[in-house]
């Protein structure tokens, strides 16, 4: 007699909606003007984790739409030009989606190097667009102080990939 096997159903709520809501909440919390001992809260670009992890988990039509909405929210919260971060997230999503066959099953160190390269690409793109729109380039120190905490978010991207990577074997 065969034993029943528990099937783990992974739908868009688990790997898109809930992480997006967590990213929205964390972004809003970290955008609050709190000063502690003369220091302000770090301002990482939290949806970068999702832009990197989602194409590795599963190709989707919903993910780019959610990334564009998260980008618009980040633009509104940071008083940036509308569409800047949405464009940046979609570029990162497409780069990772194109390289998905290479990145699937890679070691953590390889994924971190790709995550760092994607962060560098995103911030260079945002820096260039802001320099063109504003007419003057932003402070490189301020950009570095935003890149560093964003890089430190890699364990969350890796956890998300590990948790949902084998949720649906149709895309392997």
Q: Tens place of pLDDT for every residue, the chain, 172 residues?
A: 666 655 556 677 888 899 999 999 999 998 888 887 877 778 899 999 999 999 998 888 899 999 999 999 999 998 889 999 999 999 999 999 999 988 888 899 999 999 999 999 999 999 999 999 988 888 899 899 999 999 999 999 999 988 887 655 454 4
**Residue 75 domain-assigned (yes or no):** yes
By the 8 A CB rule, do 55 and 93 touch?
yes
**Residue 115 domain-assigned (yes or no):** yes
CA–CA separation, 166 vs 138, rounded Å? 41
pLDDT at 6: 56
**Residue 28 domain-assigned (yes or no):** yes
DSSP 167: S
pLDDT at 8: 58
As given in the structure block, the two tokens for residue 109 are 């160190």
CA–CA separation, 72 vs 57, rounded Å? 23
Domain count, the chain: 1
pLDDT at 33: 84
Range of the domain at 92: 12-166
* 137 CB-side CA count, 13 A: 9
By the 8 A CB rule, do 63 and 51 touch?
no
Query: What is the chain's length?
Result: 172
**Residue 171 domain-assigned (yes or no):** no
| CATH number of 29's domain | 1.10.1760
**Residue 1 domain-assigned (yes or no):** no
**Residue 5 domain-assigned (yes or no):** no
Question: Which residues partner with 40 through β-bridges?
Answer: 35
pLDDT at 103: 86
**Residue 6 domain-assigned (yes or no):** no
**Residue 79 domain-assigned (yes or no):** yes
């Amino acid at each position: 007699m065969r034993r029943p096997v528990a099937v783990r159903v992974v739908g868009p709520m688990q790997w898109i909606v809930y992480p997006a809501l967590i990213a929205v909440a964390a972004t809003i919390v970290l955008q609050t003007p709190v000063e502690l001992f003369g220091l302000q809260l770090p301002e990482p670009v939290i949806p970068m984790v999702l832009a990197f992890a989602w194409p590795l988990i599963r190709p989707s039509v919903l993910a780019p739409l959610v990334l564009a909405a998260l980008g618009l929210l980040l633009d509104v919260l940071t008083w940036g030009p509308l569409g800047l971060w949405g464009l940046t997230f979609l570029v990162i999503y497409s780069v990772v989606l194109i390289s998905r066959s290479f990145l699937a099953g890679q070691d953590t160190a390889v994924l971190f190097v790709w995550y760092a390269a994607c962060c560098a690409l995103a911030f260079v793109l945002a820096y260039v667009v802001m320099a063109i729109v504003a007419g003057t380039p932003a402070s490189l120190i301020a950009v570095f102080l935003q890149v560093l905490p964003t890089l430190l978010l890699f364990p969350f991207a890796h956890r998300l990939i590990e948790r949902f990577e084998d949720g649906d074997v149709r895309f392997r």
